[in-house]
Amino acid sequence: MRHQIVIIGGGSGGISVAARLKRQLKGADIAIIEPSDKHYYQPFWTLVGAGIVPKEASERSEASVMPRGVTWIRDRVQDIDAERNQVTLATGGTLEYDYLVVTPGLQIDWHKIEGLKDALGHGGVCSIYDYQQSEKTWETIRNFRGGHAIFTSPATPIKCGGAPQKIMFLAEETFVTEGVRERSQVSFYTGGGVIFGVKVYADALQKVADRKRLEYRFKHDLKAIDAANKQATFCKTTDAGIEEVTVDYDLLHVVPPMSAPDFIKRSSLALQDGPLKGWMAVDHSTLQHPIFKNVFGLGDVIGTPNAKTGAAIRKQAPTVAENLAAVIQGRPLTQTYNGYGSCPLVTGRGKLILAEFNYKNEPTPSFPFDQAKERYDMYLLKRHGLPLMYWNLMLKGLA
């Protein structure tokens, strides 16, 4: 099998870029390799976890988002041989390409937390980072009758870095309305060292945290769960080294460590060293692979220092589509990506801080007002506007 352009992954990045390429390169032979028959609007999972939308609202058939004229190969990539311009598929065959776009998202390393696999979904342990579990998270939050509610975030890069705190803010609000807040302690245990990477939004979030009386523990990375005794063990990084800290919980919302998919890590497309080792290497600006010039990457898989969000993909997709078209047509690359990412920080039902920023962590607001303030209209944007834009414009290559 051979196709001119092969795209790995039919998620947010793959579909957006395919739609753009189809329009831009008339008659191009484009194939998407995507094993799943479902496509998910993952930003809804935070709202599913808070009982605001049903999980089904985040799901559509993959067939319904596949751009017309693009060949859908329902298979999984096993390995990439970039030297030979070919990929190996899980079903055994190989597929050759002239140009490759790599956008398979990231891998959630559930297995790296001891005891998590068996504990998840029972005894107060939950996570919005999975379609089925997002619904169970709401069940867990709604049924919480008081005690210690812990929300975790790992030290690795993750998709939507704000989501672990958003679900905590929404849960705390539910504890208030359910009348259990006064007999509860609500804590955020994070492997990171700050509340948020961009100062103006960090200051705003600190005010929310103070108002809600939330306790923050930095440099605490979840390592193990003892479900029988309802205890969580963290690796705490101090100047003297790493020490283990064990804490009792009644509710534990877990965000596991994340990494590039294994087939990327072992390919020659991966960064071979440095703090982002294993993630896909791309030029931060053009999103072209530094060695294999017929290969581009976008989305959660790339080793760039931006927030891994769908919002980032909205800016990356036009860059990849235009620069790939330029390579095919023998023109110089002209499009650049500035590291834009956005995090709609829901701080409660009807309240949202719309964080937008670039590689340098400089705010890049879209609206002519102070976006570091909690606003109702920005909440409506997240709840109604952004999903509409996603399904009707972004996936069609129009936004």
Ligand X SMILES: Cc1cc2nc3c(=O)[nH]c(=O)nc-3n(C[C@H](O)[C@H](O)[C@H](O)COP(=O)(O)OP(=O)(O)OC[C@H]3O[C@@H](n4cnc5c(N)ncnc54)[C@H](O)[C@@H]3O)c2cc1C
Binding site for ligand X (CB under 6 A): 8-14, 33-36, 42-43, 45-46, 76-77, 103-105, 128-129, 159-160, 163, 261, 263, 299-301, 308-311, 313, 342, 344
Cβ contacts of residue 79 below 8 Å, gap of 6+? 87, 88, 263, 266, 267
Of 160, 186, 295, 345, catalytic: 160
Question: How many residues can be counted in the chain?
Answer: 399
> What secondary structure letter does DSSP report for 381?
I
Residues 151 and 144: beta-carbon distance below 8 Å: no
* Torsion over CA: 319, 261, 311, 305 (sign): negative
* Of 248 and 262, CB closest to ligand X: 262
Of 17, 33, 70, 343, catalytic: 343
* Of 51 and 147, CB closest to ligand X: 51
Q: Is 126 a catalytic residue?
A: no
Q: What one-character-per-residue DSSP string does 169-197 give?
A: HHHHHHHHHTT-GGGEEEEEEESSSSS-S
| Shortest distance (Å) from residue 62 CB to ligand X | 7
Residues 108 and 261: beta-carbon distance below 8 Å: no
* Of 146 and 318, CB closest to ligand X: 318
* Of 186 and 301, CB closest to ligand X: 301
Pseudo-torsion of CA 362, 364, 365, 370, nearest 10°? 20
| Shortest distance (Å) from residue 34 CB to ligand X | 5
* Of 234 and 263, CB closest to ligand X: 263
| Shortest distance (Å) from residue 112 CB to ligand X | 17
- As given in the structure block, the two tokens for residue 176 are 């208030």
| Shortest distance (Å) from residue 350 CB to ligand X | 16
**Rounded CA separation 164/68 (Å):** 36
Phi, psi at 170, each rounded to 5°: -70, -40
CA angle in degrees (0–180, nearest 5) for 330-23-78: 75
| Shortest distance (Å) from residue 14 CB to ligand X | 6
Residues 258 and 106: beta-carbon distance below 8 Å: yes
Which residue reads 């028959």 in tokens?
37
| Shortest distance (Å) from residue 385 CB to ligand X | 12
Q: Is 160 a catalytic residue?
A: yes
* Of 197 and 310, CB closest to ligand X: 310
Cβ contacts of residue 16 below 8 Å, gap of 6+? 313, 314, 317, 394, 395, 397
- Scanning the chain, the segments in alpha helix (DSSP H) are 12-24, 44-49, 62-65, 116-119, 131-142, 163-177, 199-211, 262-265, 310-328, 376-380, 386-392
* Of 161 and 233, CB closest to ligand X: 161
> What secondary structure letter does DSSP report for 145?
-
| Shortest distance (Å) from residue 254 CB to ligand X | 12
Query: What residues act catalytically?
Result: 160, 343
